[in-house]
Chain A
Amino acid sequence: MELYILGGLVVALAIGLVIQQIRIERTNRKLAELATKPKPVVVSEPTALELENKLKAAYEAKIGEATQAFATDLTSTSAKLSELVSRLTTDVIEKELDAYHKTLDGVRATANEAMEKIRAAVDEQRVELRKGMEADVAAEQNRLIERFDTKMGDVVSSYIAESLGGGVDLGAQMQYVISSLEAHKEEIKKDLYNGV
């Protein structure tokens, strides 16, 4: 019994589905026909003119609004941009100048330090050089004086000998010679006795 009822319900459902399918196909067919054959809209000339005038006015109004908004926005943006560029430029320049000043100060300090070191080294070198030169000059001076003194006896005696030539008068010297020997008689005598 239950099977008959269930079978009856299934058959009823199947029939319902077939009917619905058929209706959908009819509707689709109508829609396709409507699409292929559009139905022309008929507007009167005054209406068309009115519509065109309205559209034109609305379009111009929108254009005006858009232009005004754009101008306002552009002015504002330009001012902001100018301000931003100015601030950026000022900041960059200040930063660069600051960095430049710092670098310049560093370079100046380094240069001053180097100059001080060079000056100190030069001064030290000058002092050393001066000391060395003074010592050299003094040594050379002493050497020349010593040499001069040593040679002067030879020079003068040679000059005397050359001036006198071969005519040395020993007779005039004999008194000096004998007195010189007499002054050292004991030493000479002692040494000669030692040789005997």
Chain B
Amino acid sequence: MASETPQSAFVLPPAVYSPELLDSVSYEIEQYLSWYRENRIHTTVGATAITEPDHSTETAQVIQSWTTGQPLTLSSLQSLLKYLRELKLPVAHVTLAALPNHTQRQQLVDWFRGIAGPHVLISFVGDRNLGGGVLVRTPSRVFDYSWKQKLIEGRSKLAEVVHRV
């Protein structure tokens, strides 16, 4: 078995950008660990092996980033799971007028991680009442650059326009 990967060297892959994806990865690793233990018992007693559970690409990328090319061991997986469970990362909740597609998500994730580093999670929310623009909620602030907010801020101009009409 390889030794445990230093946590400082671990970087969340860009594909795992949201708290939901991180929870999903943790869940899959937990399922994998459970399968691994049960399968080992089955192998020991000579029972039929249990089918290995599927896992997502993101989980594979996380495991790969954690092991850094070393062989996967039970203890390293347990360490990874423990690490992921205890991970407290800042989350930027990004609200747009619609849910972004993969490219747009990646563009925004790259931007956020470009300014704040890889250990930032981004949660995407679609709210068509915004009209357009973006609303970002960070741990202690709200940055509202939505069209709705622009309209509210420019209410005097809006009132003038309405009055002119």
**Chain A interface (Cβ within 8 Å of chain B)?**
145, 148-150, 152-154, 156-158, 160-161, 164, 166, 168, 170-171, 173-174, 176-178, 180-181, 184-185, 187-189, 191-196
Contact = CB atoms under 8 A, between A and B. Distances in A.
B132 A160 contact: yes
Contact of A173 (B115, B132, B151, B162): B132
Interface in B104-158: 104, 107-108, 111-112, 115-117, 119-120, 128-134, 136, 138-141, 143, 145-149, 151-152, 155-156, 158
Contact of A191 (B108, B141, B159): B141
**Which residue, of A158, A171, A176, A188, has the highest number of chain B Cβ atoms within 10 A?**
A188
A181 B130 CA distance: 16
A168 to B, nearest CB: 4
A153 B155 contact: yes
A182 to B, nearest CB: 8
Contacts of B131: 156-157, 160-161, 164
Contacts of B128: 161, 164, 166, 168
Contact of A152 (B92, B101, B146, B158): B158
A185 B115 contact: yes
B96 A170 contact: yes
B89 interface: yes
B133 to A, nearest CB: 6
B90 interface: yes
Given A161-B131, A166-B98, A181-B111, 7 more contacts: A149-B155, A152-B162, A153-B149, A168-B98, A188-B92, A188-B116, A195-B90
A192 B134 contact: no
23 contacts: A149-B158, A150-B152, A152-B151, A154-B129, A154-B148, A156-B151, A157-B130, A158-B129, A161-B97, A181-B134, A185-B115, A188-B112, A188-B116, A188-B136, A188-B138, A191-B140, A193-B90, A194-B139, A194-B140, A196-B89, A196-B116, A196-B119, A196-B120
